[in-house]
């Protein structure tokens, strides 16, 4: 039998340091020099010395800094893989994000009005994911992964995060310490700041061996109580509960399921929901697709009846339960439905004139195809991935829609990511 050789290519040997001039910033936030050569923590116009081999190099020294270079605010910057662009002044940094969005649209030959971007500031993230590694008996090592590595940066502060989350880091390290009974456990603490306290959903604890022992669960509960956390769940199963975590969405008070999706910052959520609601004015019937726990649903239901759909049955149940807390809405119906496998059909949208959709990073290819076949007159797309948004936008435009305007949203501060809300009409 013929054996296949390994497809892995040998890595080039590092050569001597070289000097290059950075011409642009690439899609991952690295500076790009001719070659191309990619170098992290560099800026356009800088002359720098880099080490290594191949396209991906490491920064050795900045020889001629850009006037846009600033001092990073985080002591972990440059080691932690969480932020890529803390060294760039806010104005050109934000302009670059808008330019990236425009370039994505241009690749699909889409022209539209790009509105002034909405940007969050430091200390606003209410939802973070912290990786844990074995430390002492009393405190685990906790933080983010290093850039391009599985190693961990044990953080003391995180300037992007809400001060309440930063203040909880020592208690979160204590909470994670009992999670390492099995050598294969690699826990991640998904921490969300809610109106009733911190909600922590822990994943990555080895389950094949039976999960956490009764003793470990007792320790987790005791440490959560001492820290004043609202809830701790392990793979969705409640390990400690003092207060049911909840948020206010429009007029509704929503009790969150474990691991529920929320926009990363409250400030961006407010800006996006206000924009979506304004663009939906005049609607007679609205469909809110990929609705989650109702981020947009409750605001839209102040305008017209809304039908909401999402793949998460838990999210839909939370949305439906919250309706009792929000009197005066025009009416909401909801269903658990996987819109990738079973999109809302054009025939089902016959009486709907406005559709809002907020899909995951993979986009909404199947749903966009149905919207293209429908009689819907206005579509509002919310996206965390400009590449899949422009793909879906091309589907709608080819069916007779026009992309009227786009609102860029910088919700993931100092990262290469940009979000957006686009408004289509026909």
- For 312, other C-beta atoms within 10 Å of its C-beta total 19
Residue 340 has pLDDT above 70, yes or no: yes
pLDDT at 139: 95
Given pLDDT bands bounded at 50, 70 and 90, which one contains residue 11? low
pLDDT at 160: 96
Contacts of 106-114 with C-beta under 8 Å, sequence gap 24+, read 107/390, 108/390, 108/391, 108/393, 108/394, 110/390, 110/393, 110/394, 110/397, 110/403, 112/403, 112/404, 112/405, 112/406, 112/422, 113/404, 113/405, 113/406, 114/405, 114/406, 114/408
Residue 145 has pLDDT above 60, yes or no: yes
Directed axis angle between helix 386-398 and helix 365-373, to 10°?
20
pLDDT at 4: 43
Q: Contact, 142 vs 174, CB < 8 A?
A: no
Domain positions in the chain are 17-69, 95-119+266-425, 127-246
The reply to whether 17-69 and 127-246 are identical in fold is: yes
Interval 16-29: pLDDT, tens: 899 999 999 998 99
- CA atoms of 104 and 239, how far apart (whole Å): 44
What percentage of the chain has pLDDT greater than the value 90?
88
pLDDT at 59: 94
Interval 94-130: pLDDT, tens: 999 999 999 999 999 999 999 999 999 999 999 999 9
How far from each other are the two terminal CA atoms of the chain, in whole angstroms? 60
Given pLDDT bands bounded at 50, 70 and 90, which one contains residue 54? confident
DSSP secondary structure, 294-311, as one string: TTTHHHHTTTS-EEEEES
- CA atoms of 31 and 25, how far apart (whole Å): 4
- CA atoms of 377 and 354, how far apart (whole Å): 6
Top pLDDT among 90 and 183 is at 90
pLDDT at 3: 42
Given pLDDT bands bounded at 50, 70 and 90, which one contains residue 74? very high
φ/ψ of 141, rounded to 5, equals -80, 135
Which residue is catalytic, options 74, 83, 158, 384? 384
- CA atoms of 16 and 51, how far apart (whole Å): 7
Mean pLDDT of 59-65: 95
Given pLDDT bands bounded at 50, 70 and 90, which one contains residue 2? very low
Q: Contact, 396 vs 357, CB < 8 A?
A: no
pLDDT at 147: 80
Q: How far is CA 214 from CA 181, 211, 220, 239, in A?
A: 11, 9, 10, 10
Mean pLDDT of 254-260: 94
- CA atoms of 195 and 228, how far apart (whole Å): 13
Interval 293-334: pLDDT, tens: 999 999 999 999 999 999 999 999 999 999 999 999 999 999
CATH superfamily membership of 95-119+266-425: Vaccinia Virus protein VP39 (3.40.50.150)
Domain 127-246 CATH assignment equals 2.40.50.1070: yes
pLDDT at 403: 98
pLDDT at 10: 58
- 15-21 sheet: strands from edge to edge: 15-21, 47-52, 57-64
Question: What's the mean pLDDT when you consider all of the chain?
Answer: 94
Omega cis (within 30) before 340: no
- Among residues 175, 286, 211, 299, the alpha carbon closest in space to that of 249 is found at 299
Interval 27-46: pLDDT, tens: 899 999 998 999 999 999 99
DSSP secondary structure, 9-33, as one string: PPPPPPEEEEEEE--EE-TTS-EEE
pLDDT at 6: 41
> What is 17-69's CATH topology?
OB fold (Dihydrolipoamide Acetyltransferase, E2P) (2.40.50)
- CA atoms of 245 and 180, how far apart (whole Å): 26
- Annotated active-site residue 384? The verdict is yes
pLDDT at 209: 73
Mean pLDDT of 362-387: 96
Top pLDDT among 6 and 130 is at 130
Q: How buried is residue 309: exposed, middle or buried, by Cβ count under 10 Å (0-12/13-18/19+)?
A: buried
pLDDT at 9: 55
Interval 166-208: pLDDT, tens: 999 999 999 999 999 988 889 999 999 999 999 999 999 988 7
Mean pLDDT of 236-252: 95
What percentage of the chain has pLDDT greater than the value 70?
96
- 188-194 sheet: strands from edge to edge: 152-154, 141-145, 127-133, 188-194, 197-203, 231-234, 237-241
Given pLDDT bands bounded at 50, 70 and 90, which one contains residue 5? very low
- CA atoms of 266 and 251, how far apart (whole Å): 15
Q: Where are the beta strands (DSSP E) in 204-350?
A: 231-234, 237-241, 246-249, 252-255, 286-289, 306-310, 332-336
């Amino acid at each position: 039998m013929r054996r296949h050789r390994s497809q892995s290519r040998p890595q080039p040997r590092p050569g001597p340091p070289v000097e290059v001039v950075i011409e642009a910033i690439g899609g991952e936030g690295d500076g790009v020099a001719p070659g191309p050569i990619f170098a992290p923590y560099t800026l356009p116009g800088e002359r720098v010395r880099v080490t290594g081999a191949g396209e991906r190099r490491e920064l050795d020294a900045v020889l001629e800094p850009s006037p846009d270079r600033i001092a990073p605010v985080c002591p972990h910057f440059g080691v932690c893989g969480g932020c890529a662009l803390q060294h760039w002044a806010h104005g050109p940094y934000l302009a670059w994000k808008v330019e990236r969005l425009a370039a994505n649209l241009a690749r699909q030959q889409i022209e539209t009005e790009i509105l002034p971007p909405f940007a969050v500031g430091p200390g606003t993230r209410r939802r973070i994911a912290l990786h844990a590694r074995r430390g002492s008996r009393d405190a685990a090592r906790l933080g983010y992964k290093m850039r391009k590595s599985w190693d961990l940066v044990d953080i003391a502060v995180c300037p992007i995060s809400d001060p309440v989350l930063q203040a909880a880091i020592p208690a979160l390290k204590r909470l994670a310490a009992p999670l390492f009974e099995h050598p294969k456990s690699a826990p991640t603490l998904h921490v969300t700041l809610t109106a009733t306290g911190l909600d922590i959903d822990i994943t990555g604890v080895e389950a094949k061996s039976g999960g956490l022992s009764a003793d470990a669960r007792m320790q987790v509960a005791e440490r959560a109580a001492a820290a004043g956390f609202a809830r701790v769940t392990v793979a969705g199963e409640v390990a400690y509960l003092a207060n049911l975590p909840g948020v206010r969405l429009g007029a509704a008070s929503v009790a969150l399921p474990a691991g529920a999706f929320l926009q990363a910052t409250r400030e961006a959520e407010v800006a996006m929901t206000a924009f979506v609601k304004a663009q939906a004015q005049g609607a007679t019937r609205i469909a809110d697709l990929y609705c989650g726990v109702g981020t947009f649903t409750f605001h839209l239901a102040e305008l017209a009846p809304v039908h909401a759909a999402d793949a998460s049955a838990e999210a839909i149940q939370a949305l439906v339960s919250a309706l009792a807390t929000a009197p005066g809405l025009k009416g909401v119906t909801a269903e658990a439905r996987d819109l990738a496998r079973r999109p809302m059909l054009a025939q089902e949208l016959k009486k709907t004139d406005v559709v809002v959709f907020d899909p995951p990073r993979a986009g909404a290819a199947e749903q966009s195809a149905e919207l293209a076949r429908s009689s819907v007159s206005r579509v509002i797309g919310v996206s965390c991935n400009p590449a899949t948004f422009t793909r879906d936008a091309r589907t709608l435009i080819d069916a007779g829609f026009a992309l009227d305007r786009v609102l860029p949203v910088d919700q993931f501060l100092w990262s290469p990511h940009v979000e957006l809300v686009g408004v289509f009409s026909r």
